Amino acid sequence: MSSAFETGVRLKFIERVNPQLHAVIALNPHALADARALDAERKAGKVRGPLHGVPILLKDNIESADDTATTAGSLALKDNVTGRDAPLVKRLTDAGMVILGKTNLSEWANIRSSHSISGWSAVGGTVRNPYVLDRSACGSSSGSGAAVAAGLAPAAIGTETDGSITCPAAINGLVGLKPTVGLVSRTHIVPISHSQDTAGPMTRTVTDAALILTAIAGSDPADPATREADARKTDYAKGLSKDALKGVTLAVARFYTGYSPGTDAVFEQALTDLKAQGATLVEVKTFDEGPIGKAEGVVLYTELKVDLNAYLASTDPAKVKTRTLADLIAFNKATPKELEWFGQESFEKAEATKGYDDPEYIKAVADGKRLAGPEGIDRILKETGAVAIVAPTTGPAWTIDPLNGDHYGGSSTTLPAVAGYPHLTVPMGQVGGLPVGLSFIGPAWSEARLLNLGYAYEQATHRRVEPKFLPTVAP
């Protein structure tokens, strides 16, 4: 199949299905021309690699030089056409991928309010889960998850600060990988936190996630966190083995169960499947995440103010009138559509923070990293002799509720998010027709190992089921 043909088919499918899902926020006007150029390259004997001509969607907080705006879902950025490619986008196009367009998201990557509706943005509306349309697609990479699950694109890029790749991937029946912070550049991505932000792939298969991670990983002089990336990256798809679970020890995070009985039942089956593939399981019953969550809040609010102000300062003042977080707060107050369903108390908390010299912030950064990393994931792995932790990613999708916000049960996202360590989710089954995912969590720079473990599990179980676009879940 030619790239132009597939791109055309996907664009028509988006036109037909997206009004039901609100998963795509903008289309790249050059997508077909880009695909035709790649077809001409192939015809001339130049193939850039396994991703040559493959279409992909980008979360709409990632800049691309294709005349689309980068809005983060906010009306304040509706004209933010920067003409810049984020380095990860340049890596995708250098690998031969076709940028189809931008996906909807939880506005400002879900940091504006603790009462938000996952998947809602003032620009794009509310993303719907293609498995059951009155259910959440989870945030903040909701559009990326729903779009790939529904077949609008074979892959998408999401971003995560805490759960924003892994939750929507799990809830939409996908593979999602949050890489080690620093493996993938964050330059020209609308930020929350330089301590925790990262972009990563959301795909239907582990192999596709590995291929895309191989393309986007690498150092970027403009992002100091990535200084080790070139030395750490590898060909993540090379050597994926169905036997990768044989003889390995995995730590079972029992402290991430109990919030969803249906998910727990599917997780028990997943553990049986892991043992059947030769893995040894060691139970870890308790872990106190409370102090980590407290430290994380201080870090995220402090960094949001400084990092977002720096991003806004980098945009064109003729196109983006809001130059600071304080300006955004004022803009939202003056724009009824922005505050129609929930407020901006998280923005206001961030605005009240005191910057990077604040002793409370300095302590919170150190405490969070230490408690989640060396005294968290690293300690669990050392004490159990395990190479990775396994857990349910999160429960099944909850009902979209604009009046009360999200009904979020629990998840295994915070430890790897605060530590800055990699987290892979792979489909492990369904609860009442709604997908749930199995998490593989490892130490820093262990993406190759996690992808291998996930690949072996995926190939042994094949738990992914296509969505049916059901209107609701009924007894």
Q: Is 114 a catalytic site residue?
A: no
Q: Is 275 a catalytic site residue?
A: no
HEC string for the chain: CCHHHHHHHHHHHHHHHHHHHCCEEEECCCHHHHHHHHHHHHHCCCCCCCCCCCEEEEECCECCCCCCCCCCCCHHHCCCCCCCCCHHHHHHHHCCCEEEEEECCCHHHHCCCCCCCCCEECCCEECCCCCECCECCCCCCHHHHHHHHHCCCCEEEEEECCCCCHHHHHHCCCEEEECCCCCECCCCECCCCCCCCEEEEEECCHHHHHHHHHHHECCCCCCHHHCCHHHHCCCCCCCCCCCCCCCCEEEEEHHHCCCCHHHHHHHHHHHHHHHHCCCEEEEECCCCCHHHHHHHHHHHHHHHHHHHHHHHHCCCCCCCCCCCHHHHHHHHHCCCCCCCCCCCHHHHHHHCCCCCCCHHHHHHHHHHHHHHHHHHHHHHHHHHCCCEEEEECECCCCECCCCCCCCCCCECCHHHHHHCCCEEEEEEEEECCEEEEEEEECCCCCHHHHHHHHHHHHHHHCCCCCCCCECCCCC
Q: Which of 113, 118, 140, 144 is catalytic?
A: 140
For 161, 196, 302, 365, the CA distances from 358, given in Å and listed in that order, are 22, 19, 9, 11
Helix 31-43 vs helix 3-21: crossing angle, to nearest 10: 150
Find, among 153, 160, 202, the residue nearest to 181 by Cα: 160
Region for residue 45 given its phi and psi (left: phi exceeds 0; alpha: psi -120 to 50; beta: otherwise): left
Q: Is 113 a catalytic site residue?
A: no
Q: Which of 113, 121, 164, 346 is catalytic?
A: 164
Q: Tell me the one-letter amino acid at 14.
A: I
Q: Which of 3, 59, 195, 439 is catalytic?
A: 59
State the catalytic residues: 59, 140, 164
